[in-house]
Each structure stands twice: as structure tokens, then as C-alpha cells.
């Protein structure tokens, strides 16, 4: 099942996505309310909405945490001239960085001139998790979606820590929708790609993660409690702009596509002001 939250006539609508239409769901304020409910959503009485008539919101708004993982693909660690970590490299992105499908990633030229793309599988938690065994970890997942861990590399590398460079407003596109856990039999068996202006820049498979989704959930939960609606960005594969020769950074008008098999395509344009 694909579940999205959109704006229609200036009101937030939760809906099940099917055949280019959105069928409104009744009884919930937003996606986190639905996740906390723990039940299959019930369709409301409203007529389905045409996808062309809505504005996409981030697949989750206002999560308690966005937990991101660095260097979690063997090939990305290699291109960055580093070794795969022995423990997940954890950092945070602020919830204010979230952005919806087809919205513009926007930054000031005076703030950063080295903005980069990172296609990622995002994991949406469905229940409270603490000290979770790895073999039970996937039971805590509500669903999966596409993410783009947009990064201001000059800030990231210049600061010596990553939060500012990763958390500028609009720097976490997420969506278009959440695909529920039952529709993704194995999160380690998904193709993942990123295209910039139609050119393929990243292409890999989630089986190449250093730490699998279940391993990440288990390890994280032994250090801090995870809550419904929390987001885990599970890392990006090789091909990012910063480690190309010469480097490739994003500019005004560039189009980014993050594609994950079985989930969908997240599209965003860049706007430099």
C-alpha cells in the first residue's frame, strides 16, 4: 500500500495512492497520527483526488528524529577514500529540512556553493523501539520511502561536523509516499539510483549496505529510544558529486530524481537565490 499526505485546496489530506489517484483516508490528522494508530487506514467518503491537482507534502512531517547514516555503502566508503565504519556513523538532520515531492530545494549562494545529492532509502518507524533484537527489528518498521540527503559540502567539511551542512531548509526531500512494510518483502533487495538532469549519477543495490536496515534499527535502539514516525536515512551509494573528478555540484534549475525499485521516484528541482 502507498500512503501519501498532500495539500488539496489548502487542507492536508492523507490518502492511499492507486492508479494516479489519491483515495482520502478518514480519521487521522497527519501521517504520524496514522502510524501511531497501528491499524490499516479506512478510506473516507470523499471522491478520489487526481494526482495532478495536489501539492505533495513530505511523506512524514514533524518527526521526533531524522537519524542519518554516513558511509553505509561499501562503494561510497571507497570513493571517499575511507574505510567502512565498524559502527554506524550517525548524524542528524533537523526536521525543518524536510521537503515534499516536486518542491524546490532552495539555498542562498552566499551560504553554500557546493551543494550535493545523495539518494537514500528512508525507513519510517511504526512503533516505539528500545533494545530491539536484530531478528525482530523489521517488525518495528511502518514503511519505506525515497529520500535525498542534500548536503552543503563546504559547510559539512568546513565545520568538522555534519549537522549544519545537512540541515539547511529544504535539504531533506522525502516521498512521494510511504510504501508499507508488507509491500517490501526485503529492504536489502532494492535497486537505488539518482539522476541529475536525466544523467545517471548513482546506481547500486541496498544489499551493498555495510549495516542492513534490521542491523541499524537494532543498534540504534540500544543507544536511544525510537518512536513512531522517526526516520532513518540508511546511507547513500557511490556516485555523489563531491568525489567525482572533477567534482559535480548542483546549480539553479537542476532536476534531481531519486528512484528506488518497488517504492517510486522522488523528483525535486534546485533553486539558488
- DSSP class of residue 234? -
Q: Report the half-sphere exposure of 230 (CA within 13 A, side-chain side).
A: 22
pLDDT of residue 38: 84
Residues 6+ apart with CB under 8 A from 33: none
Residue 117: closest CA among 170, 45, 54: 170
- Cα 200 to Cα 117: distance, rounded to the nearest angstrom: 12
Q: What is the pLDDT of residues 33-51, one digit of tens each?
A: 999 998 778 787 789 999 9
pLDDT of residue 271: 98
Residues 6+ apart with CB under 8 A from 237: 73, 75, 76, 119, 192, 202, 203, 204, 208
Q: CA 221, 223, 224, 226: dihedral to nearest 10 degrees?
A: -10
pLDDT of residue 213: 98
Task: Flag residues of the chain having pLDDT under 50.
Answer: none
- DSSP class of residue 98? E
Structural domains of the chain ordered from first start: 2-56 (no CATH), 66-272 (3.90.850.10)
**Cβ pair 41, 28 in contact under 8 A:** yes
**Cβ pair 241, 234 in contact under 8 A:** no
- Cα 262 to Cα 257: distance, rounded to the nearest angstrom: 15
Q: Report the phi/psi class of residue 229: left, alpha or beta, with left for phi > 0 and alpha for psi in -120 to 50.
A: left
pLDDT of residue 45: 76
pLDDT of residue 77: 84
Regarding pTM above 0.75, the answer is yes
Amino acid at each position: 500500500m502507498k500512503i501519501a499526505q498532500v495539500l488539496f485546496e489548502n487542507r492536508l489530506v492523507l490518502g492511499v495512492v492507486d492508479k494516479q489517484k489519491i483515495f482520502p483516508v478518514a480519521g487521522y490528522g497527519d501521517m504520524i497520527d496514522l502510524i501511531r494508530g497501528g491499524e490499516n487506514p479506512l478510506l473516507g467518503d470523499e471522491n478520489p483526488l487526481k494526482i495532478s491537482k495536489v501539492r505533495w507534502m513530505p511523506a512524514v512531517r514533524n518527526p521526533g528524529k531524522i537519524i542519518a547514516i554516513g558511509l553505509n555503502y561499501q562503494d561510497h566508503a571507497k570513493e571517499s577514500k575511507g574505510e567502512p565504519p565498524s559502527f554506524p556513523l550517525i548524524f542528524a538532520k533537523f526536521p525543518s529540512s524536510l521537503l515534499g515531492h516536486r518542491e524546490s530545494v532552495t539555498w542562498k549562494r552566499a551560504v553554500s556553493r557546493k551543494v550535493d545529492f545523495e539518494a537514500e532509502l528512508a525507513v519510517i518507524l511504526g512503533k516505539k523501539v528500545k533494545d530491539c533484537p536484530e531478528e525482530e527489528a523489521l517488525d518495528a518498521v511502518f514503511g519505506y520511502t525515497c529520500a535525498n540527503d542534500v548536503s552543503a559540502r563546504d559547510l559539512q567539511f568546513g565545520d568538522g561536523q555534519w549537522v549544519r551542512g545537512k540541515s539547511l531548509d529544504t535539504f531533506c526531500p522525502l516521498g512521494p509516499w510511504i510504501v508499507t512494510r508488507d509491500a517490501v518483502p526485503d529492504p536489502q533487495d532494492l535497486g537505488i539510483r539518482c539522476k541529475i538532469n536525466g544523467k545517471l549519477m548513482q546506481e547500486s543495490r541496498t544489499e551493498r549496505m555495510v549495516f542492513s536496515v534490521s542491523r541499524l534499527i537494532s543498534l540504534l535502539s540500544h543507544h536511544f529510544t525510537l518512536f513512531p514516525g522517526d526516520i532513518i536515512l540508511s546511507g547513500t551509494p557511490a556516485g555523489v558529486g563531491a568525489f567525482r573528478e572533477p567534482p559535480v555540484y548542483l546549480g539553479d534549475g537542476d532536476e534531481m530524481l531519486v528512484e528506488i525499485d518497488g517504492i517510486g521516484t522522488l523528483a525535486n528541482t534546485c533553486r539558488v537565490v
